[in-house]
Every structure is written in structure tokens, then in C-alpha cells.
Amino acid sequence: MKNIEQLLDNNRNWSDATKLADPEFFNRLYERQKPEYLWIGCSDSRVPANQIVGLLPGDIFVHRNVANLVVHTDFNCLSVLQYAVDVLKVKHVIVCGHYGCGGVEAALGDQQFGLIDNWLGHIKDLAYKHRDQLKDLSPQQKSNRMCELNVLEQAANVSRSNIVRYAQGRGQTLTVHSWIYSLKNGLLKDLEA
Ligand code: CO
């Protein structure tokens, strides 16, 4: 475990190295951001958006929450989506889940965790909706399938949002993607046909 001063040291080193490699890097980004991608992912520390897709600061607008949920009444997530679509005019919204998601697995179990159980209730609802296809699976298969179904559901929620529908109605170019990440090998998979 690194101590907190180490993080500030790391930051100075990173800033120096970045300026050395590209002296205009920070000046360029200071002017404005123009990311083409919005990432909606899990808060899990093992799934850092920029790093796993090889993008730099300025390239990707990010919203993360536990289990990458897009809930129609979550004004935090919806505000990010609206700003990204209407103001930044991103071209792609990537909903990215991951196998072995603690939020999904907690929702499949019976243990109580407090406040977060309410948030995870959305995943419990989803498991109930898909109970027929889940009932004969092993716990591992069930977890994997639910992680996939969750990504597909949240991407559908993005697509059904009035933000995305209005943008498409205006003829704005916008594609919604459903991706899932493997903690075992660091690879992403596109779940859409
Ligand atoms: Co997760």
C-alpha cells in the first residue's frame, strides 16, 4: 500500500514526464475538452476507463458508479449523459461492465450491505426478469451471465433515454455500445451482434 505523499510525488513525476514528451499537452487541454467518447463504467478500481482503452486525458468523458447502472431517475448519471451528448457532442456512449462485478454478485446473494442494497435492487429486478434463463446455471455461470445482461440492460436504458432519443431525432451521430471487461486477461468484449 502506497502512502498518500507517494501519490503527490507520482503526480509531479507524471506531470514532468508528460510535459517532456509533449510540451503543449496541458496548454492544449486547458483550452477545452473535446472527447468523442462517454464511458459509463463500474467504480471497481480494477477497471480504469482511460487506461484499458489506451486513451489520454481529454479523450474520454467518464461516469462510474457501482455496477455501471443507468437508472432513469439518477440525475447524476443523466446529467453526465446529457452534458456529454448535448454539449460535448460525443459520438459514442460506451457502457462497460466487467465479469466478477461485486455489485452484481452482491445483488445475486442474500447478504445485507445497508444503503447500497437499494441501489443493487435494480440488479435484483433484472435477475428476476431473466430468472428462467438463469435458473439452471452454476453460480459462476450465473454471475457471468448477469454481468452481461446488466450491461445490455443499462445500454438499453441509455438508448431509451430522452437525451439519446432527442439527439437521434436531431440527426446527431451517436452510437451506444455494450462492452464487458475481463479482470482475468484485461480484454474487452463487445456484446452486441
Ligand atoms: Co463492478
Structural element, H or E, at residue 36:
none
Of residues 16, 22, 46, 160, which has the active-site annotation?
Answer: 46
Ligand 1 centroid, distance to 178 Cα (angstroms): 15
Summarize pLDDT for 104-127 with one digit per residue, the tens. 999 999 999 999 999 999 999 999
Q: Please say if 46 is a catalytic residue.
A: yes
What pLDDT does residue 1 have? 58
How much of the chain exceeds pLDDT 70, in percent? 99
Summarize pLDDT for 31-79 with one digit per residue, the tens. 989 999 999 999 999 999 999 999 999 999 999 999 999 999 999 999 9
Ligand 1 centroid, distance to 67 Cα (angstroms): 5
What pLDDT does residue 192 have? 83
Q: Please say if 44 is a catalytic residue.
A: yes
Is residue 189 within 8 A of residue 135, CB to CB? The reply is no
Ligand 1 centroid, distance to 71 Cα (angstroms): 16
What pLDDT does residue 116 have? 96
The pTM of the full predicted model, rounded to 2 decimals, is 0.95
Scored b (16 or more CB within 10 A) or e, 110-120 reads eeeeeeeeebb
SS3 141: helix
Q: Please say if 122 is a catalytic residue.
A: no
Of residues 77, 96, 101, 147, which has the active-site annotation?
Answer: 101
Give the span between the Cα atoms of 146 and 139, in whole angstroms.
10
Q: Please say if 77 is a catalytic residue.
A: no
Which residues have C-beta within 8 Å of that of residue 190, sequence separation ≥ 6? 177, 178, 179
